[in-house]
Structures are given as C-alpha cells and as structure tokens.
Amino acid sequence: MNEIRLRKVAPDRNQFRFYQIFIQRGLFGGYAVCRESGRIGRPGNTRAEWCGTTDDTAETYAPNGVSSSPVLVQTG
C-alpha cells in the first residue's frame, strides 16, 4: 500500500475536505512523498518531499518512531 486517502464530510458545518498522501517514484531516481489536501470537487494544495531511498520515505511517512500501521478511527 503506497496511498492513503481520507475524506471529511460534515454538511451541517459546511466541511467537505479530502486529504491524500502517496509515494511517487522520480524520473531520474529517488522518491517523493506527496501530500494533497483541499475541498472536495476543487483542485487541492500539493506538497512533495523528495527522498533518496524507500527507507527515507518511511521516515517521512512516520517521523519520530510513530507506528506506520493503519488505524481506523470512527466518530459518531
């Protein structure tokens, strides 16, 4: 799995947001951890952090020893 997508929809608060993070391989080597966020239906803001190896991308995904295991959080 190299992509995580999240959506936040709260019509009563007029919140329709998306968040996405994924790894993309560069044309001349290296990897980019890309983050995109914004309002659903609109182009989002994109940031990319370039890394030399896949180990570096794992550190970018989960800095400071945070577990990279998926966690499902449900709210009422």
Q: Which two tokens stand for residue 46?
A: 């994109």
Is it the case that residue 1 has pLDDT exceeding 50? no
Confidence class of residue 64 from pLDDT cuts 50, 70 and 90?
Answer: low
| 67 against 8, higher pLDDT | 8
Q: What's the number of domains the chain is made of?
A: 1
Identify the three-state secondary structure at position 30: coil
Q: Which two tokens stand for residue 35?
A: 């983050």
pLDDT in the model for residue 37: 92
The string of pLDDT tens digits covering residues 11-52 is: 999 999 999 988 888 888 888 888 899 999 998 899 888 888
How far apart (Å, rounded) are the C-alpha atoms in residues 22 and 33? 6
Residue 71 covered by a domain:
no
Full domain range(s) for residue 23: 3-65
Residue 57 covered by a domain:
yes
| 53 against 17, higher pLDDT | 17
